[in-house]
Structure 1
Amino acid sequence: MFRTDPETPDAFRTPVEEVFIRNHLGRRPELDADSWSLTVEGLVERPLRLDFQALRGLPQTRFTAVHECFGNPLQPTVPTRAVTNLEWEGVPLAEVLALAGPRPEARHVWLEGADRGDFAGESDVSFLKDLPLEQARTEVVLAHRMNGEPLRPDHGHPVRAVAPRMFGTNSVKWLTRIVLAAERPEHLFTTRLYTRVLPGESEARPVREKDVSSKLLSLRDGSTVPAGVSELAGYAWSSTEVTAVEVAVDDADWQPAELDGRGPDPSWQRFRLRHDLAPGAHRIRCRATDSAGRVQPLTGDRNAVHEIAVVAV
């Protein structure tokens, strides 16, 4: 299920009601926190089954991070602009892995949700993702709260994985099973979909770390606005810190925008530029650069520059 993307509100933390919903496999599973459990199995010294109370009893962490949909895996270069910024609370995956004791030959962590269904011509498949063990141990959190409230059913209640520097496809909802393995799983959502060839490379790699991107939010596409000085503002994000944002109006040169720093959490960064809009129709674009030197492409890929059209009167 890929719903039409709502307008992301111009707020640092996205209200839960405005968060996009993605579900590849039809009806969402109905899970109850009182009967839910999580198994940890495979190449571990001590296989585990944790209930919700046991998980809540482990050390907790809280952070704010960008949550972005990669897009339809059948159309991987089409921009979606589905992005939010959320506060998460949960248990670092490292705490759970420490209880299970990964064996020396374990190299990968498989994360599996309770949802099953049909997708892309395959029947009765689960939603399964995998990450290298060390990366998963360092980055993944098993979240049970979002924006200070328990996860809602559409967002993975009662527990989901959250990989804050990665696209949302890696943040498995309705998490019920973790497997440690020596190899990656051959699966629809690991090796056949959600892969891509990055610029300058020749081999496909899994869709994981976020691209550099930005979105204009202070003005709505297609809106009518007062002529005169207007603040052209929005948010920029990446898997690393964004170091610059530029804004272009019509066919004029790109202008550097004022950009907030990211801070300790992997959240998005606000940018702003005051510009005098003459009466008439205008095209406004923004593009971001991150600390890895990546720049948003003008066209042709999922993170191509965001463009809106407004009429000043």
Structure 2
Amino acid sequence: MNEFDQSLEDQSMNYVGMIAKFPLGVHDLKSFITPENHLFVLCHLGIPDIDIEQWRLKISGLVEQSLELSYQNLLSLEYRELTIFHQCSGNPLEPKVPTRTISNVTWGGVSLREILNQLQVKPEARYVWFAGTDRGAYEGVSSDSYIKDIPIAKALDNDVLLAYKLNGEFLSAERGFPLRLVVPGYYGTNFVKWLSHIYVTDRRSPGPFTTTFYNDRVGGDDATLKPVWEVAPESVIVHPSQNELLYLQPQTFSGWAWASKGIQSVDVSTDGGITWQAVEVEARLQYAWQRFTFQWTPPTPGQYSLMSRATDYDGAIQPIQQERNAVYIVAVTVKETTVKESKPFTVAE
């Protein structure tokens, strides 16, 4: 048994079983920063019982020297914060079904790159594995640990964090206390919670969360798989709400757009995708989602299908349907009687 496998043997659990909470719908996403109590929760294998005095973060593998850090060791390292959109990729058994489970939060912790640079990564390194303390079964598949991997080049990006704070507060148990991985621009499945071991290697992890789950079929070929890593361009109209009654007068609509590469532009349609027009998009702050607004005066009373479509800085365009980031359609009814003006939501800091 190697050092990595032995570290998995030493873990303990006080709860086994998936925990999932999704408190916010699309039209509840009104704050720029999502409050912690409104953030979604997904614990595939349950919540581990961690004795912080005994807990250690181990870093080993293809590095010139291995390292163990206590919680206090981590707290003594240089601290930094990043505001990052945080999105669940959805059900891995139905990867093309949109869930639009998205939030925007500020993570605080230490730079992974700074630690790896001190340990001197060997030239043959290609991937980094991240193992949580949780273990159990998910969808009938047993796992000794929730393990994800990312390319070594991504791990050495200065903005990948080992995070112990969320929105300025120390992580709770269900958020991953004492430590979780944060990879800006990647889907939340890669943000390993209850982090206990970082392993630098020349190959991908063989665990179920990198093989059985969280891979996309490419080009219709079942033999070609692409890891669910970078977040594809996506946007949602937050205001007006679904099935809202509007009036025949000028309207101001608002929403959010996000992508791993950042959003270059957003187009909207008020006729179900027949025609599109570019709208105003705010610049991205660090890795946060970006607000867009548009003005519209309905030409006549009736039923309308409002849509937004985002394009990222690589030129990738949000698809209309049949993908996890498919366009979201907001159905509204416009009546002739004027009651009050429609107002955009207020961004709360």
TM-score (structure 2 length as normaliser): 0.83
Aligned residue in 2 for 1:223: 244
- Deviation string 1:1-47 (CA, Å, 9 cap, x unpaired) is 4444622421211111111111112x212335444321112222222
Partner of 1:249: 270
Question: Of 100, 119, 123, which residue of structure 2 is paired with 1:104?
Answer: 123
Match for residue 193 of structure 1?
213
* 1-structure distance, mates of 2:192, 2:92: 15
Shift in Å at residue 205 of structure 1? 1.6
What is the identity, as a one-letter code, of the residue corresponding to 2:24? P
Q: Which moved more, 1:120-129 or 1:51-60?
A: 120-129
SS at match of 2:74: helix
Aligned to 2:305: 283
- Give 2:333's aligned residue: 311
Q: Tell me the distance in 2 between the aligned counterparts of 1:225 and 1:212.
A: 29
Conserved 8 A contact 1:9-1:18: no
Per-residue deviation, 1:212: 0.5
Q: Contact 1:59 / 1:95 at 8 angstroms: preserved in 2?
A: no
The 8 Å contact of residues 5 and 81 in structure 1, kept in 2 or not, is answered as no
Tell me, yes or no, if structure 1 residue 237 matches structure 2 residue 258. yes
Letter in 1 for 2:164: H
- What is the correspondence of 1:48-63 to structure 2 with a 5 Å cutoff? 48-63=67-82
Residue of structure 2 in register with 1:157 after alignment? 177
Contact 2:23 2:39 in 1 (8 A): no
Identity of aligned residues (%): 37
- Output one character per residue of 1:72-122: Cα deviation in whole Å (capped at 9) or x when no partner: 111110001011111111101012213433233322210011111111321
Which has the higher Rg, Structure 1 or Structure 2? 2
Tell me, in whole angstroms, the C-alpha distance in 2 between the residues paired with 1:219 and 1:35.
50
Aligned residue number for residue 290 of structure 2 = 269
For 2:147, the aligned partner's letter is: L
**Residues 152 and 312 of structure 1: CA distance in aligned 2, closer, same or farther (over 3 Å):** farther
**Contact 1:77–1:300 (CA under 8 A) maintained in structure 2:** yes
Would the alpha carbon gap of residues 214 and 167 (structure 1) be closer, same or farther in structure 2, given more than 3 Å must change? Answer: same
Task: Give me the whole-angstrom Cα distance separating, in 1, the residues matched to 2:302 and 2:110.
Answer: 52
What is the CA distance between 1:61 and its match in structure 2? 1.7
Runs (4 or more) in structure 1 with deviation over 6 Å come to: none
**Where do 5+ consecutive residues of structure 1 fail to align?**
none
| Count of aligned residue pairs for this structure pair | 311
Which of 187, 201, 204 is the aligned partner of 2:225?
A: 204
Residue 117 (structure 2) pairs with residue 117 (structure 1): no
171, 174, 183: which one aligns with 2:191 = 171
- The question of whether the paired residues in 2 share the 8 Å contact of 1:108 and 1:180 is answered with yes
Instruction: Report the CA distance between 1:220 and its aligned residue.
Output: 2.0
Q: CA separation in 1, counterparts of 2:276 and 2:50? A: 50
Question: Could you say if the C-alpha distance between residues 275 and 32 of structure 1 is closer, same or farther in structure 2, counting changes exceeding 3 Å?
Answer: farther
State the distance in 2 between where 1:200 and 1:267 align.
Answer: 32
After superposition, the C-alpha distances for 1:205-233 in whole angstroms (9 at most, x for unaligned) are 21111100001112222334455322211
Aligned residue number for residue 34 of structure 2: 14
Deviation at 1:295, TM superposition (A): 0.7
The corresponding residue for 2:94 is 75
In 2, Cα distance between the equivalents of 1:247 and 1:58?
Answer: 45
Change (3 A) 1:197 1:82: same
Separation in 1, partners of 2:85, 2:214: 19
CA distance in 1, matches of 2:258, 2:328: 13
Q: Does 2:232 match 1:214?
A: no
2:33 aligned counterpart, secondary structure: coil
Matches of 2:313 and 2:117, distance apart in 1:
33
Counterpart Cα distance in 1 of 2:34 and 2:193: 19
Q: Structure 2 stretches of 5 or more lacking a match?
A: 1-18, 336-349
Q: Take 1:185 and 1:230, find their aligned partners in 2: how far apart are those partners?
A: 51
Aligned residues: CA RMSD: 2.1
Map of 2:161 onto structure 1: 141
Separation in 2 of the partners of 1:150 and 1:2? 21
**2:104 corresponds to which letter in structure 1?**
N
